[in-house]
Every structure is written in C-alpha cells, then in structure tokens.
Amino acid sequence: MSRLNIAPTKSNQLNLKRSLKMTSEGFALLEQKREILVMELMRLLDRVKVVQQELAQRRHKAYATLRKAASHNGYYHMRNIANGINYEHDVHSDTRVVAGIRIPTLSVKQGAFRSQYGFADTDSLVDQTMIDFLALLESAGKLAELETAVWLLARELKKTQRRVNALEHIFIPNYKDTLRYIGEVLEGKDLDSFFTMKMVKKRLAEAAEAAEAAEAAEQAQLRDGDAPDTTP
C-alpha cells in the first residue's frame, strides 16, 4: 500500500473522494458479477457431470452395439452400409448473456431415423447401431455447448477476480491512504493558520492596548501642564 503522488490540496482531496466513491461502487458491482459467475459456473459444472456420464453411457452402448453388429454382419459389410448412409443434421448456434458475457448455445437437430439400406443381409443390430450413434451425437452436442460455456465463464471469472483483488488490495487502500495523508496535511495547515491568526490577534490587541496607554499618558501630561501654578 502506498500513497498516490499528488499534491495535498483541497481540490485534489475532493477529486480523490469522487474517485474513491466511483471505485467503491465499481468494486461492489464487480463483487456482484463475481457471485453471479460463480453461481452460474457451479450450475453448469453440475450439468457437465450429468452429460459426461450420459455421454459415456451412450458411447459404451453405441460401440458395444457396433461390435455386435459387426460380428453378426461382418466388418466390411458394415462399412459398405455406413458409406451409403446420409443424414442431414441441422446445427444451430445462438448466444445468451450471463453477467454481460455472451455464452454460445448449440442445438443439433438430427434427421429422424430411417432405413437407408436394404433389409437383405442385415439384422436389427444394424438399426440399433444407427439409433445408438444418433443418441451419442446428441449428447456430444450438449457437452460441447456446456464445456464451451464453462470455459468462457471460468476465463471471465478469473479476469473479474483479478480486478476485484486489484481494487480491494491496491486502488482502494491507496486512495484511502492518500486521503488520510492529505487530511493530515490540510489539518496541520489549518492548525498553523489558526495559531498564526491567534498570534496576530494577540499582537494587535497588545499594540492597541499600548497605544491606548500611551494616549492616556499623553493626555494626563497635557492636563498636568495646563493646571494653574498655586505656589506662594
């Protein structure tokens, strides 16, 4: 903590008080923003855990079904089927605002399941593989959206925390220390002025009393000089 390098004057004191007020208000707003970011981040982290578990389960199920389908229908036959499948997926991105931060949202509308291959030489495991991987794709889109939001919020929280720390531990203490210093200097100047004025008044009063005494003595001498001589 250190004082600002400014002259201890009344005008600087007023300007610094205004700056301290604005800084304190900004500090309060940043603290509110930090609390909002923390709450939103914790909420998203809980959702991330749920979606991660969902993704892991769907991935495990999809690849287990794929292995079964490949063992029943043959690896190369499954590859040929996969090469002939074409789904149109509509990926739409948007944004939402949290504490002034734009968070992207992602929605994936996948095509409805439909058979794009002949039923000859295939079984229900092929259909189930497609269904399972479409569900896996949905979870992957959710997780991508949440992880991006978490990353953006965590980055903003870190920036906000640095600003809060700077205001709390550097700027506000420096302003207060400088104001305290300026107040002490101005108070000392006021005391000096008070005692100086008091000494001046005292000397003026003493000079006035001396002048009155001299004038009284002079008048007394004049009265004594004008008195008649009564000596026989």
What does the pLDDT average to over 188-209?
75
Residue 31's pLDDT is 93
Residue 110's pLDDT is 67
Burial 148-184 (b: 16+ CB within 10 A, else e): ebbebbeebbeebeebbeebeeebbebbeebbeebee
CA neighbor of 140 nearest in space, from 65, 62, 42: 62
Share of the chain above pLDDT 90, in %: 32
Tell me the average pLDDT of the chain.
82
Under the banding of pLDDT at 50, 70 and 90, the label for residue 224 is low
Determine the residue type at 71.
Answer: S
173-198 tens-digit pLDDT: 999 998 988 888 888 776 767 777 87
Share of the chain above pLDDT 70, in %: 86
Tokens standing for residue 24: 């304190």
77-110 tens-digit pLDDT: 778 777 777 777 677 778 888 778 888 887 777 6
- Give the CATH fold of the 10-179 domain: Helix Hairpins (1.10.287)
12-51 tens-digit pLDDT: 889 999 999 999 999 999 999 999 999 999 999 999 999 9
Residue 76's pLDDT is 80
DSSP 5: S
- pTM of whole model > 0.85? no
CA neighbor of 103 nearest in space, from 113, 93, 90: 93
49-83 tens-digit pLDDT: 999 999 999 999 999 999 998 888 888 877 877 77
